[in-house]
Structure 1
C-alpha cells in the first residue's frame, strides 16, 4: 500500500477512535470523580464540558508535540466555525432552538470576551508561551466564574453521570485515555502526510478535514437530541465547546511549540470565526429581546434560534470555504 493509502487509513482510524474513546473517557472520568466525592457542579463544568472538546484537545496536543502547531490552531478555529456554521445551523434548520436567559448573561458574554482575547494572541502571527499561559489562566477564571453563578442555580447542573463501580470507572477512564492518545497520534500522522502529498499546509488540513471530522460527533448528538425533543441544551453546548476550543485547544501549541503562522491565520481564519461568533450573538440577543413578552416565568426560554439565522450561518460557512480555497 502507498504512503497515501496508509495516511488515509490512519486518518479514518483516528477519527473513529477519537469518537469512541472520547465518550468512554468522559464517562469513566465523571463516574470516577463522583466516586471520589467531587460535586456534580464541578464535574459538569470540567469533565463533561471538556468531553465535547476532548478530540480537539488531544489532536492539538499530538500536533504540538510533532511541531505542527499550525494544524492545532487551525483545528481550534476550524472547529468553532464548524460548530456554528455546520452543527448549529443544521440543527436549527430541523428544530428551533430555545434561547435560555443565562446564555445572554453568562456564557455568551464570556465567549465574546474570549474571542477577542484569542484575536489578541493571534494578531502578530505567533502564539507564544506567555500567550498560552494567558489562555489557560482565562480558562481557569472562566470556569471559576461559571461555577459561582451555577452554584446559585443548581437546576442548571447536568446530573447524568454514569453509576459505575469504582473498578469499572477506573477501567473506562484508562481505556478512554489510552485510546484518545493513540487515535490522536494516528490522525495527526495521517493528516501531516496528506498535507505533504497534496502540497498544502497543515493549517489548511486542520481548518478543513480535521475540524469537520472532530465536529461530526457533535453534529450527530445535536441533531439526535433535537429530533427527540431535547433541544434545550444544544445552543449552550455549542457555546461551551467553542469556549474550550479557544482556551484549551489553542493554548497547547503556544505552551509546547510557540508556532509561527502565516498572517492569513488572523486576517482570514480568525476574523471569519470572530465575525460568525458576533453574528450569532447579535441574532440571539435581538431574537430574545423581540420575544421577551411571549413567555413568562423565570428561566423560561423567551426566544429561539430558527431557520433564518441558521441559513445565514450555513451560508457564511460555505462562503468561508470559498474564501479559503481561493486564497491557497
Structure 2
C-alpha cells in the first residue's frame, strides 16, 4: 500500500505540473503576456511546483526535515544529476547572460540560505524575506523581458515595413476566447488539485518508507523525494538537450534552483505552525554540498561557456558519490570511513586541480556551439 501511494503521488505530481504549465502558459498568452515572460515566470514556477507542493505540505504537517531536505536535495540533484545527464547527451552551450546574471543569483540565494539557517531554524521572518525576494526577482525578470521585447518588436516592425508582403505577416492571429479560455482555467485548477493530493500522498509514503527502513526522514527527503519532485526538470532539460535547445536545458536547472530556495522555503516557512528546524547534518554537510555544486558551475561555464561530456561525467559521478555517502551514513556502514577518506584525499583534489588547469591553460576557452 505504501509503494502504491508513493507511485500514485509521484504520478499526480508530474501530471499536475504538466497540466499547470500547459494551462497557465496558454492562459498567460491569451491575456497578452509575451512568450519570454511566460517562460521566465509561469513555466519556471511550473517545474518547481512539485517542490513547492511537497515542502509546503510537509511544513504544514510539522515535518521540517522533509521540507528542507526536499529543497536542498533537489538543488544538488538538479546541478549534478540533470546537468550531468544532459551534457552526456550533447555538450551544453551556455548563453553569456546566464553566466553574468542567473548563475550569480543562484550562488547568492544559496549563500543567503546558509546565513539564514545558521541559527538552525527558518522562521516566519525568514520566510517573508524569501517571499519578498521571490517577487522582486520575478518583477526584475518581467521588466527586463519587456525591455528586450520592446527592442525586438521595434526591429521586427521595421523589418515588417520593409519586407512584409501579405496579411499573414502583417498581424498575428488574435488568441481564442470563450471555451478555450475556460479550458485553460480548468487545466490550471486541475493541475493545482493534482499537485496538492500528489504531494500529500508522496510525503506520507516517504515518511512511512523512512520509518520502515530505519532511515531518517531527512535522508528520504534529500534523495527519494528530491529526485521525484525534480522529474519535471529532468524531463524538460533532457528534452531540451535532445532538441538542441541547450541554453534552455541549463537555464531550466538554474532558474529552478533559485525558485526552490526563494519560493519553496519562503512559502514553507510562512505557513509552518512553528519555525522549520534545521537538522545539524544539513548545516554541517548537505548545505555545503549544495553550495559546492553551485560553485562548480562557475569554472565549468567560464572556461568555455559550455558543459562538455567529460564534465557531465564528473557531475554525475559526484551525485552518485553523494547518494552513496547518504546511504552509508544512514546505515552506519563499516565502509563509510574508507569511502569518505578516498573522496576527501583523492577524488575531490584531483577534480579541483583539473578544473584549475583548464582555467589557466592558454587557449583553454572553448567557443560555444550554437
CA contact (8 A) 1:17 1:183 kept: yes
Matched with 1:122 is: 117
Q: Following TM superposition, by how much is the alpha carbon of 1:136 offset from its aligned partner in structure 2, in angstroms?
A: 1.0
Matched with 1:196 is: 211
Which residue among 205, 222, 230 is the counterpart of 1:207? 222
Change (3 A) 1:235 1:156: farther
> What secondary structure, in the 3-state scheme, does the structure 1 residue paired with 2:119 have?
coil
Deviations 1:110-135 (A, max 9, x none): 11111110111222221111111111
Matched with 2:337 is: none
Matched with 1:280 is: 297
Which residue among 287, 295, 301 is the counterpart of 1:270? 287
Cα-Cα RMSD? 2.1
TM-score, with normalisation over the residues of structure 1? Answer: 0.87
Whole-Å separation in 2 of the counterparts to 1:233 and 1:121? 30
CA contact (8 A) 1:26 1:51 kept: yes
Matched with 2:46 is: 51
Q: Following TM superposition, by how much is the alpha carbon of 1:103 offset from its aligned partner in structure 2, in angstroms?
A: 0.5
Q: Following TM superposition, by how much is the alpha carbon of 1:208 offset from its aligned partner in structure 2, in angstroms?
A: 0.6
Matched with 2:329 is: 327
> What secondary structure, in the 3-state scheme, does the structure 1 residue paired with 2:93 have?
strand
Q: Following TM superposition, by how much is the alpha carbon of 1:237 offset from its aligned partner in structure 2, in angstroms?
A: 0.8
Q: Following TM superposition, by how much is the alpha carbon of 1:156 offset from its aligned partner in structure 2, in angstroms?
A: 9.6
CA contact (8 A) 1:110 1:142 kept: no
Which residue among 317, 320, 323 is the counterpart of 2:319? 317
Structure 1 gap segments, 5+ residues each: 1-5, 288-302
Deviations 1:238-261 (A, max 9, x none): 100111111111223322221212
Matched with 1:293 is: none
Matched with 1:137 is: 132
Matched with 1:300 is: none
Matched with 1:298 is: none
Deviations 1:91-146 (A, max 9, x none): 10110111101102211111111111011122222111111111112212222222
Bigger Cα Rg: 2
Q: Following TM superposition, by how much is the alpha carbon of 1:46 offset from its aligned partner in structure 2, in angstroms?
A: 2.0
Deviations 1:176-201 (A, max 9, x none): 11111111111111112111222222
CA contact (8 A) 1:122 1:266 kept: yes
> What secondary structure, in the 3-state scheme, does the structure 1 residue paired with 2:246 have?
coil
Matched with 2:232 is: 217
Deviates more, 1:39-48 or 1:65-74: 39-48
Q: Following TM superposition, by how much is the alpha carbon of 1:325 offset from its aligned partner in structure 2, in angstroms?
A: 2.7
Q: Following TM superposition, by how much is the alpha carbon of 1:234 offset from its aligned partner in structure 2, in angstroms?
A: 0.6
Deviates more, 1:237-246 or 1:217-226: 217-226
> What secondary structure, in the 3-state scheme, does the structure 2 residue paired with 1:233 have?
helix
Whole-Å separation in 1 of the counterparts to 2:237 and 2:27? 26
> What secondary structure, in the 3-state scheme, does the structure 1 residue paired with 2:306 have?
strand
Q: Following TM superposition, by how much is the alpha carbon of 1:327 offset from its aligned partner in structure 2, in angstroms?
A: 3.0
User: Aligned pair 1:246/2:248, yes or no?
Assistant: no
TM-score, with normalisation over the residues of structure 2? Answer: 0.77
CA contact (8 A) 2:237 2:250 kept: no
Which residue among 22, 26, 29 is the counterpart of 2:24? 29
CA contact (8 A) 2:237 2:253 kept: no
Superposed counterparts of 1:3-42, under 5 Å? 6-42=1-37
Change (3 A) 1:246 1:85: same
Q: Following TM superposition, by how much is the alpha carbon of 1:39 offset from its aligned partner in structure 2, in angstroms?
A: 4.6
Q: Following TM superposition, by how much is the alpha carbon of 1:224 offset from its aligned partner in structure 2, in angstroms?
A: 2.6
Counting matched residue pairs gives 304
Whole-Å separation in 2 of the counterparts to 1:305 and 1:108? 14
Change (3 A) 1:46 1:217: closer
Deviations 1:196-220 (A, max 9, x none): 2222222111101011112233223
Which residue among 75, 78, 99 is the counterpart of 1:80? 75
Whole-Å separation in 2 of the counterparts to 1:37 and 1:148? 15
